[in-house]
Structure 1
Amino acid sequence: MQRTDAVLIEATRLMHWFPGWAQSIALVLGCFAVVLPLHQIAYRFLTRAFQGRSLFWRSLVGRTQGPTRLGLIIVAVGAASAIAPVSREVRVLVNHTLLVGLVALAGWCCSIAIHISTVIYLRRFKLDAEDNLLARKHFTQMRILERAAVTLVALVTLAICLMTFEPVRQYGVSLLASAGAAGLILGLAMQPVLSNLVAGIQIAITQPIKIEDAVIVENEWGWVEEINSTYVVVRLWDWRRLVVPLTYFIQKPFQNWTREGSSLIGSVFLYVDHTTPIAAMRTKLAEIAAQSSLWDRKVVNLQVSDMRENVIEVRMLVSARNASQAWDLRCEVREKMVGFLQTELPGALPRLRTEWLRTERDPAPRSDVRALAS
């Protein structure tokens, strides 16, 4: 016992030979040396303990390995600061910084838990399925709600961190209590952001658009690729990206081709001569559709939709499983029907007719005109 006391006394005497900053660094390094192995052992224990639990808990343990390690280091450094030979001002500053770090880590863990819950919920739905209406509906709702929840967590975390600073807390309280010109200016400045956030919640509930919807926006046709917190990314047919604010889809009209289902009816218009046999064209259209892998075997129809002075308008309708296949099927029908008219019914192509009538007052044709006519 006396030998142990002597060792402690000697170690205390040696510590006095080192300056305060060196002792503090040694304590921090000692915290790292102790906490990291302990965290590794605890992480292995938790991994085995949650092995038979649900996928959410197993994923949460796996994804929060880094934040929990930082959290243990912060706690250990906070405990070391209590015995470190530093001034009171330095100790208060270190403890305040560690508190802000713990709050940020808590918000980080909440965001990870929200993301894991969203991914697990969406695993039951497949966007690459042929009929993916239900999947697109749930993907849209969960992605928007996830971003809204993460934004809310970030705002709450930031608010708690700022409330730990005395000057900022007093300023915030006075600003909220005054509700004067400063509050009005702040509200006007935040109006675009808040309106887009509210529009995002409205889109998640009412769903005028969904992920991978085929839409026409600003006379551009494409697919909804992303729905973010404040804007929507539309992937156009030529691989360009059209970025539109969320409020656009609440305040302005647009076309949604796949809101209730992915199947679409495509129309093809041709202009042919009045003498064209419509029955032969109708038979050929049914043959073209039956031979195409793009047709969904639902709608095929041909009608004379209009008649003009020199031509008649023929409208052909064919259905497909989605917007992309409907476009390709329309091009295929148009190409093959024009080829059919060129080879089988050349007289059906549009023509201009001119009739010459000779009266008694007209002079007899001259010899050179007769030669040209012959």
Structure 2
Amino acid sequence: MEGALRPVLVVGTVVTLTVVLGLVVDRTLRAADARHPETPLWHLLRRCRLPLQVTLCTAMLRGAYRTVRIAAEHRATVGQGLTLVLIGATAWLTVRVATAVTDSSYARYAAVSRDVAKIRRLRTQSTLIQRVFTAIVGVIAIASMLFTFPAMRTVGASMLASAGIIGIVAGVAAQSTLGNLFAGLQIAFGDMVRIGDTVVVDGEWGTVEEITLTFLSVRTWDERRITMPVSYFTSKPFENWSRGDARMTGTVFFHLDHSAPVDGMRKRLLEILEQTQEWDRRAWGLVVIDTTPTTIQLRALVTAKDAGDIFDLRCIVREQLIDWLRCEHPYALPRLSTSDAPGRRDAARDRAPAPLPDTAGLGPGPGKR
């Protein structure tokens, strides 16, 4: 009877202690969060409750399982399994704590800073640091699990001896992967592109949505996602419209007739800009930049606070100015001449040879047969 109750008492005691400790830690973190609402660290650490409980429960079971005198022939197997679970739970808890710390640092900086570029840069760096740290912890945890097996300890020396050759072979085989890995780190700390930046790659305009250690995702204006290796951004040129200052200057081009009312278009452009919310009132202008034998080319210049507003503002200016010209000055729109001018027709008739006179009704003249 005692042998049957011992496992139940041990497991019940461990589970009870785990639940109680988890509740105590959660209440402590909740109280700290109430006292310090300016930092989200304590609230984020509450997410670690489950991995903490799993780690504590496994650790206590690992230390107390030898006192359970039941199924002695499976004691080694149970101990091995608890060790593996303990390693995995510890790695899980470590990653959760590190994520809470990095997210808290980013949230506190984003709450007090007004520099959007620096906020996006910190977000990109913190995201990549989390991924690198998670990968390192995962590799260490898997290696620790493998080395708990006696067979792995035996071959450990030979594995270390051949690590140089294996490393060279793996480096050649994973050259592209390693290149993307180092390119991701270069992007994170080189500040060439950040999450939230507006970029133009391969003729596609979009916003950087995600950056990992191997690939980068760009969300286009029509909700498509373009996924490309991060090494693309370190080896090929691309446009970053958000680097430095998010404010932008846009242009709208018009091809019009030589009789177009340029001064009237300037006044109408200012009226359009004053009625739009996208214009940031930094600059505007309308000038003639080129002429051809049939048309003149005008450039309207407008400014906005970011790439999204500048795109919308250019569309508004283009649409309303063309509509104004169509209604008020239709002659200013470009035309194609399909017939000769009246003066040109008269000159051509004057240059035509006169017909030969008929001679006294004697029949047709020479050539009229």
Is the TM-score greater than 0.5?
A: yes
Work out whether 1:84 is the aligned partner of 2:69.
yes
1:43 is matched with which residue: 22, 25, 44?
22
TM-aligned CA deviation for residue 180 of structure 1? 6.2
TM-aligned CA deviation for residue 46 of structure 1? 3.1
- The equivalent residue for 1:52 is 32
Task: Give the alignment's TM-score, normalised by structure 2.
Answer: 0.84
For residues 171 and 273 of structure 1, do their structure 2 counterparts lie closer, same or farther at Cα, with a shift above 3 Å needed?
farther
- Give the 5 Å matches for 1:324-363: 324-353=308-337, 354-355=340-341, 356=344, 357-362=347-352
Distance 1:180 1:75 in 2: 36
Distance 1:60 1:360 in 2: 94
For residues 76 and 135 of structure 1, do their structure 2 counterparts lie closer, same or farther at Cα, with a shift above 3 Å needed?
closer
Distance 1:248 1:293 in 2: 36
For residues 298 and 61 of structure 1, do their structure 2 counterparts lie closer, same or farther at Cα, with a shift above 3 Å needed?
closer
Task: Give the alignment's TM-score, normalised by structure 1.
Answer: 0.83
335-344 or 186-195, larger mean C-alpha shift: 186-195
32-41 or 325-334, larger mean C-alpha shift: 32-41
TM-aligned CA deviation for residue 261 of structure 1? 1.8
Work out whether 1:284 is the aligned partner of 2:268.
yes
Distance 2:114 2:287 in 1: 30
- The equivalent residue for 1:161 is 145
- The equivalent residue for 1:70 is 54
Work out whether 1:206 is the aligned partner of 2:185.
no
For residues 243 and 325 of structure 1, do their structure 2 counterparts lie closer, same or farther at Cα, with a shift above 3 Å needed?
same
- The equivalent residue for 2:306 is 322
Deviations 1:41-99 (A, max 9, x none): 223333444533765773465223222322233234332244433345x3222222222
SS in 1 for 2:216: strand
For residues 251 and 31 of structure 1, do their structure 2 counterparts lie closer, same or farther at Cα, with a shift above 3 Å needed?
farther
Distance 2:204 2:7 in 1: 60
- The equivalent residue for 1:4 is none
Amino acid corresponding to residue 210 of structure 2 in structure 1: E
- The equivalent residue for 2:362 is none
- The equivalent residue for 2:131 is 147
- The equivalent residue for 1:177 is 161
Distance 1:113 1:346 in 2: 68
Amino acid corresponding to residue 135 of structure 1 in structure 2: I
Distance 2:137 2:268 in 1: 61
110-119 or 55-64, larger mean C-alpha shift: 55-64
Give unmatched runs, 5+ long, in structure 1: 1-10, 16-22, 366-374
CA contact (8 A) 1:100 1:161 kept: yes
For residues 49 and 180 of structure 1, do their structure 2 counterparts lie closer, same or farther at Cα, with a shift above 3 Å needed?
closer
Deviations 1:328-367 (A, max 9, x none): 11010001110111122222111234432325442679xx
SS in 1 for 2:348: coil
CA contact (8 A) 1:288 1:333 kept: yes
- Give the 5 Å matches for 1:116-155: 116-124=100-108, 132-155=116-139
- The equivalent residue for 2:288 is 304
Aligned-residue Cα RMSD (Å) equals 2.6
CA contact (8 A) 1:262 1:322 kept: yes
TM-aligned CA deviation for residue 211 of structure 1? 1.2
TM-aligned CA deviation for residue 275 of structure 1? 1.9
SS in 2 for 1:271: strand
Distance 2:236 2:28 in 1: 53
CA contact (8 A) 1:305 1:315 kept: yes
For residues 130 and 294 of structure 1, do their structure 2 counterparts lie closer, same or farther at Cα, with a shift above 3 Å needed?
farther
For residues 76 and 265 of structure 1, do their structure 2 counterparts lie closer, same or farther at Cα, with a shift above 3 Å needed?
same
1:264 is matched with which residue: 248, 251, 255?
248
- The equivalent residue for 1:186 is 170
For residues 246 and 297 of structure 1, do their structure 2 counterparts lie closer, same or farther at Cα, with a shift above 3 Å needed?
same
Distance 2:307 2:125 in 1: 22
- The equivalent residue for 1:370 is none
Distance 1:70 1:343 in 2: 74
Identity %: 34
